[in-house]
Amino acid sequence: MSLAALRPMSRADLPAFHGVMMSAGMDSRSSWSRTTVQDLEHSLFAEGAGGFVALGGGGEADLGEIVGCVGFRPDGAATLTLNKLATLPEVRGQGYGQKLVQAVEETAQRGGFRRVLLAVSQYNLEVIPFYKRLDYVESDEVYRFAHPNSPKPVVLMKEIE
């Protein structure tokens, strides 16, 4: 399967976006695993927020299937937060995640944000090397969107030029 397209998500994409998240294999202790389609709508369609979906292609049958997703929302004038990055397990390592992160970074740049910030769940620390390869560094910043009943996340940040 190859990347057929990357596009802004729509409300019609919410069920598929949710499906990709739930297929990602997050630890069941994470608040991520309790996210509903309604939670996504509230988060991704708040003022200044949004998301992207990656569409896989490789044959007539799967052309246009949503295989990856990412969300974003502002946290003040300088920071755009990246959240809900997920890809279907069968497309991992094919560049979908990187392209989705780049789309959020480009959105941040166009919007005049100076940095992109994200939080990694204590139950998902194995993804930190992926973000570090994309020049994200650990930060002592507070992630204000953290779930209050979850362990403190690892916060990563990247300056946008």
Confirm if 31 and 150 have CB atoms less than 8 A apart. yes
Structure tokens at 113: 């944000």
Confirm if 91 and 37 have CB atoms less than 8 A apart. no
Structure tokens at 32: 């991520």
d(CA 10, CA 44): 9
Predicted pLDDT at 59: 47
Stated pTM of the model? 0.91
Using the predicted structure, report yes or no on whether residue 36 has a pLDDT greater than 80.
Answer: yes
Query: Do the strands 115-120 and 79-87 form a parallel or antiparallel pair, or are they unpaired?
Result: parallel
62-98 pLDDT, tens digit per residue, is 457 899 999 999 999 999 999 999 999 999 899 999 9
Q: Domain ranges in the chain?
A: 2-159
12-24 pLDDT, tens digit per residue, is 999 999 999 999 8
Confirm if 87 and 66 have CB atoms less than 8 A apart. no
Rounded average pLDDT over 42-60? 86
Using the predicted structure, report yes or no on whether residue 60 has a pLDDT greater than 80.
Answer: no
Q: Which residues, 6+ apart, have CB-to-CB distance to 29 below 8 Å? A: 123
φ/ψ of 39, rounded to 5, equals -60, -45
115-143 pLDDT, tens digit per residue, is 999 999 988 899 999 999 999 999 998 88
- Its CATH class, for the domain covering 2-159, is alpha beta
